[in-house]
Amino acid sequence: MKKLFEPKDYAQKITTPAGKARWASLSTPKGFQGDDKEHYLCDILLTEDDAQPIIDTITGIQEKLIDMCGQEDKNVRRSHFNPFKTHAEDERVPEGFVQFKTKKRHFPAKEGKPASRPVDTYVDGKKVDWSKVDYDSIGNDSVIRLGIVATPYYVPTLGLGVTLKLQAVKVIELQKFSAENSANFDAEFSDGESTTAATSSDDDNYFD
């Protein structure tokens, strides 16, 4: 099937203003159930004012491509999936802010080719060597700027969308994240106590 357009021809480089990191995984790629691809991840939380120029860039890419495809009598619709969300769409996003989702595809080593590198991350103006630091990633509320590339894609069943490809992270204020120190309950819960079955009434369901 012939491509409607070449994504890189319409991609736009963006450097974000300073914002707060959310759910970063910069040294180790993450995979999700039902998806065989792994990605390095980093969301950024920006004020609505700081977010608007980025949103305008994303919608501008879509509008340009829809206009172009419309001139060629191709029925192309905009995707409902955006690389950002607001409080109205997700209550976990604070009011007055926009959270952008960015990612970088990880490619494992194959046929003599090395695996893709982690995301270039800069702390104190120097690129982080993850094998030499005492943390695994940057934690939530670290103040960061992101280097991203807004890249369009088209899937007939989903429509015309834009993904934010993560290129680099500049850390302004660091909150360290270490997996071994994150809510580790081993000592408290690994006590050998047996789990017993219990009967419950309609009045004592913990999750209601």
Rg (CA), the chain: 21
Mean pLDDT of 74-95: 92
Q: Judge whether 40 and 166 are in contact, CB under 8 Å.
A: yes
pLDDT of 185: 54
Q: Is the pLDDT of residue 187 over 60?
A: no
* Half-sphere exposure of residue 10: CA atoms within 13 angstroms, side-chain side: 23
Q: Judge whether 5 and 159 are in contact, CB under 8 Å.
A: no
**Residue 135 dihedral angles phi and psi, to the nearest 5°:** -145, 160
Q: Is the pLDDT of residue 202 over 80?
A: no
pLDDT of 42: 97
Determine which of 17-26, 66-75, 105-114 has the lowest per-residue pLDDT on average: 66-75
* C-beta pairs of 6-11 under 8 Å, 24+ apart in sequence: 7/151, 7/152, 7/153, 8/151, 10/61, 10/64, 10/65, 10/151, 10/152, 11/61, 11/149, 11/150, 11/151, 11/152, 11/165
Determine which of 27-36, 45-54, 120-129, 141-150 has the lowest per-residue pLDDT on average: 27-36
Among the ranges 73-77, 153-157, 200-204, which has the highest mean pLDDT value?
Answer: 153-157
pLDDT of 88: 96
Distance CA 51, CA 117 (A): 28
For residue range 2-27, what is the model confidence (pLDDT) as tens digits? 678 899 999 999 999 999 999 999 99
pTM value surpassing 0.75: yes
Residue percentage of the chain with pLDDT more than 70: 82
Q: With 0-12 CB in 10 A as exposed, 13-18 as middle and 19+ as buried, what is 46?
A: buried
First to last CA, the chain: 50
Q: Is the pLDDT of residue 175 over 90?
A: yes
